[in-house]
Amino acid sequence: MRRQFSLLLCAVQFLTRLPVPASPGFQADWINRSARYFPLAGQLTGLLSAAVLLFAAQFWSTWIAAALGLLTATLITGALHEDGLADTADGFCGGHDPAHRLAIMKDSRIGAYGVLALGFCTVLKLASLAALSPFLAACSLIAAHGVARAATVIVMHRLPYAGDPASAKISIANLPPTRTEMWIALLLACWPLFLLHYIDIMLSLALCAILTLALARAANRLIGGQRGDVLGAVEQLCEAGFLLGCAAKFGAIH
């Protein structure tokens, strides 16, 4: 139990900027082993963001409340996943071969493709949340963050690391999550789904699956696998896809 708690803290420390107690005896493979708890770290981010959204909805419109909720999530994660989406868009759309795409993705500067990807993804998430009641928006936000992190674990398990593992900012290339750890992540991502209508859940999960599969196939074809930036892009697209699914029915009524 002590080791599992340490792995949970490792997941929170890796995916957020929230202060966590130091873990004595840290080992290099803990990040991969902690992947089973990525959905819990995501749900924590979603829970804090949802709390801000619900509080803000008492004073402002749903659009402003949704914007503040998204801003909270970005501050908690330090824009970790947004940075990955921008780098992936720049690399995949601007490179002419795998080596060139990887070089672009390592560049800290953002290009036109990255700006467009971030802009469209943020607008889709904002509009989806604003189409829901504050309570449903809050529940959707918690669920979306958990499911999106579980999607990254699937990609980590299924695809090899692209490029030179020694060039990674954080050593996550070796010993990817096992099948058991992947299933644990999927199960942990499920509990917030019970807060939503089953039709919304089915549509949201379908959109997440389509987007994850499409991006994973593109990453495998264009750069030969996954890396941190691709995982960030998976998280952002799944988050947007999940919220779009939740907003589909209620958005039409609204």
User: What pLDDT, in 10s, does the model give residues 51-60?
Assistant: 999 999 999 9
CA distance 143 to 43: 7
3 or 19: which carries more pLDDT confidence?
A: 19
As a whole number of angstroms, the distance between CA 192 and CA 114 comes to 31
> Domain ranges in the chain?
42-253
What is the predicted pLDDT for the residue at 250?
45
Question: Average pLDDT of the chain?
Answer: 91
Torsion of CA 248, 122, 72, 88, to 10 degrees: 120
CA 46/CA 141 separation, integer angstroms? 5
- Tell me the CA end-to-end span of the chain in Å, nearest whole number: 46
Cα–Cα distance measured from residue 123 to residue 139, given in angstroms and rounded to the nearest whole number: 19
User: What was the pLDDT predicted at 108?
Assistant: 86
pLDDT one-digit tens code per residue, 46-79: 999 999 999 999 999 999 999 999 999 999 999 9
pLDDT tens-place string over residues 83-100: 999 999 999 999 889 999
Read off the pTM: 0.92
- Say which residues have a Cβ less than 8 Å from residue 193's Cβ, sequence separation at least 6: 143, 147, 201
Q: From CA 204, how far away is CA 139, in angstroms rounded? A: 13
